[in-house]
Structure 1
Amino acid sequence: MAPSFLYHPVQLSPAAALELAQTAPAVLKSSPSSVSSSPLFSLVGGPEKSEQWIQFENLILACLRTGDDQAARKCLERLVSRFGADNERVQALDGLVKEAMANNNGELEAVLKEYERILSENDTNIPIAKRRIALLRSMGRASDAASALVELLDFSPTDAEAWSELSDIYLSQGLYPQAIYAMEEVLVLAPNAWNIHARLGELQYMAATASGSAANGSHQKHMAEAVKRFSRSIELCDDYLRGYYGLKLVTKTLLSGEDAKTPKQTDEGGFALPDRSTLEKLHELATAKLAEIVRRAAAKERGWRGYAEADVAAARELLAQDTSAVQR
């Protein structure tokens, strides 16, 4: 069965995205080549459904993902016909198609200049501002992308997507404190998002295991925060694989190191590393739940089929390390 047009193509597997893109010719053939933007058109042509425009937008993304640039361009023409070339969302999609069809750095620079021209006329065009940031990053200009994101967040400080992207850019540059700060801002905007808690736990763990963390005294604080964030993620979502994976990894690291033997230091937020007994219980809990997820996902049991294959494979490998350690 073909995937739903209402699913964002980024959420689909490569095979599902290809299947969706292959429906483009039939969809284009069954829809009019031009649609009037006049409100009187609905009186003649029947009521308009918003789903059909989501369908074209998702088809554009699926076609670009699978290399069918021509079909993506034809879908874009439908949106231009309906909403006009000056529509901000349409402008961003048009830029995305041009980026995908660019053959060299010079053509990408031309697209970048077009974004800057549009923003010079309207600096509140958020979709274009985000496309410019994405293009800067794809061209290897991470510092420029970070600066542009900071400017965007000055204008729109409640944009969780922008904070998350800024965190990812800082992480790619090895700037762990800045990456953690930006992700904490995401958590302020979405305090019950279990995936964000787990992501923050991952950042804290990476900061704790980075070179120099032990020397500057931040190692134990980061590890304590990682335990707290992973624990919160599985509290919010009982079957969240990444939360259990992170909790097992961080408790395993703590139990095999010196942290569980040293006196606990309370951080500024009032949270200290749990004692060894608590860490062992958390490790056992994470191990048992990961084993259950791997077993039931591999068996494709009903209700356990939504896990990414790569995540399940990583969990299986982490569990296998315990087995090999016992055998040795």
Structure 2
Amino acid sequence: MAADLLQPPSFLRPAETLSISQQAPHFFRAQRPSILPYPLSLLTNTESQGKWQTYENMLLACLRTGDNESAYVALEELTKRFGDDNERVQALRGLLLESTAKDNKDLEGVLKSYDDLLEEKPTNMPIRKRRVALLKSMGRTADAITALTELLDASPIDAEAWSELADLYLTQGSFSQAIFCLEEVLLVTPNAWNVHAKLGESIYLSASSTESDGDRLKALSEAMRRFCRSIELCDDYLRGFYGLKLTTNRLLEKLNKTSKPATASSNALAGDLAPPSLSSVQRLNELATSKLAEIVRRSSSGEKGWDGYDQAEVIAARELLDRDTQGVQR
């Protein structure tokens, strides 16, 4: 249980998050100050970084499960320890206010409080990020993009902000801007396999919006390379293999329709790099098919070490394999 409390709830499954929040009352009672006189009380002092990280994670878990009362208790303890002026505490207080807001008017009030705090201290990054999240939740995507752009002007190496900006651009169908943002993320975190896969997904989506066969071939080839890099960095990453399977399926369709092998002129159409050979794409497609089938089989059976996959992603992988099988049978 202690290990779970030190891990952010966003990385825990719903059942684990619920289990943590249900233990909140007992946890807070256990943290009450000792009644021993000084200096004996120092022997029972549990002051540590882990303790306050636990309080924060407990607060987030309680908010996720709707236990606002326990979340408020956790926030008050953090406020007593670090003060009202602490930027992280201010962001957590804002998050609590957002969660308990009854209508849009209440949310506008929270947004106004963020603006007031930023007027006092424009470099308050936790509040800047909460403001972006609030604008996004209110459906004000254009304002959220503007706020993120201003944030990145002040902190251009914030990988989290670049990634969030990429997501917002994707919701608007602005693929080129999203791709640029994800490339900025990779400048900061070059070995992030999930970002390579996400970049591959964005490039794959952009291929559908291009009219030129050359541009489409270029986009699909680049998406395939990104997915290959993703699974090179993490050899059991489901989204990487899913994207590789999807991309190579489309590349096989295009390359099989080409009567001539790739030439210098076709390379020019595809971009700086030559398009992949048919045999290479076929081998990668077989690899992706084999690995996805293994993940689906072993994850569905609950095999130890293969139970950490998101079930929605496993179901999507199974459906992709089933479609492929049905196409072969026909």
Q: 1:41 to 1:282 in 2, by over 3 A?
A: farther
Equivalent residue, structure 1, for 2:233: 236
Q: Which amino acid aligns with 1:4?
A: D
Q: What is the CA-CA distance between 1:302 and the residue it aligns to?
A: 2.3
Equivalent residue, structure 2, for 1:252: 249
Quick one: distance in 2 between partners of 1:204 and 1:41?
63
Equivalent residue, structure 2, for 1:96: 95
Per-residue Cα deviation, 1:163-219 (whole angstroms, up to 9, x for no partner): 000000000011000000001100111111111110100000011013xx0249532
Q: Give the root-mean-square deviation of aligned CA atoms.
A: 2.2
Per-residue Cα deviation, 1:275-304 (whole angstroms, up to 9, x for no partner): 111111110111011111111112222222
Equivalent residue, structure 2, for 1:227: 224
Quick one: distance in 1 between partners of 2:110 and 2:66?
19
Q: What is the CA-CA distance between 1:91 and the residue it aligns to?
A: 0.2
Quick one: distance in 2 between partners of 1:268 and 1:187?
23
Alignment gaps of 5+ in structure 2: none
Q: Which amino acid aligns with 1:72?
A: A
Equivalent residue, structure 2, for 1:9: 9
- Residues 218 and 271 in structure 2, CA contact (< 8 A), matched pair in contact too: no
- Residues 204 and 219 in structure 2, CA contact (< 8 A), matched pair in contact too: yes
Q: Which amino acid aligns with 2:328?
A: V
Q: Which amino acid aligns with 2:233?
A: L
Alignment of 1:142-161 (within 5 A): 142-161=141-160
Q: TM-score, structure 2 length as denominator?
A: 0.91
- Residues 99 and 111 in structure 1, CA contact (< 8 A), matched pair in contact too: yes
- Residues 163 and 185 in structure 1, CA contact (< 8 A), matched pair in contact too: yes
Quick one: distance in 2 between partners of 1:187 and 1:260?
34
Count of equivalent residues: 321
> Whose helix proportion is higher, 1 or 2?
2
Quick one: distance in 1 between partners of 2:68 and 2:108?
19
Q: Which amino acid aligns with 2:28?
A: L
Equivalent residue, structure 2, for 1:186: 185
Q: 1:321 to 1:46 in 2, by over 3 A?
A: same
Quick one: distance in 1 between partners of 2:62 and 2:295?
33
Q: What is the CA-CA distance between 1:305 and the residue it aligns to?
A: 1.8
Equivalent residue, structure 2, for 1:37: none
Alignment of 1:20-31 (within 5 A): 20-31=20-31
- Residues 198 and 243 in structure 1, CA contact (< 8 A), matched pair in contact too: yes
Per-residue Cα deviation, 1:230-257 (whole angstroms, up to 9, x for no partner): 0111111111111111000000011123
Equivalent residue, structure 1, for 2:282: 280
Alignment gaps of 5+ in structure 1: 35-39
Equivalent residue, structure 2, for 1:271: 273
- Residues 2 and 16 in structure 1, CA contact (< 8 A), matched pair in contact too: no
Q: Which amino acid aligns with 2:8?
A: H
Q: What is the CA-CA distance between 1:270 and the residue it aligns to?
A: 3.1
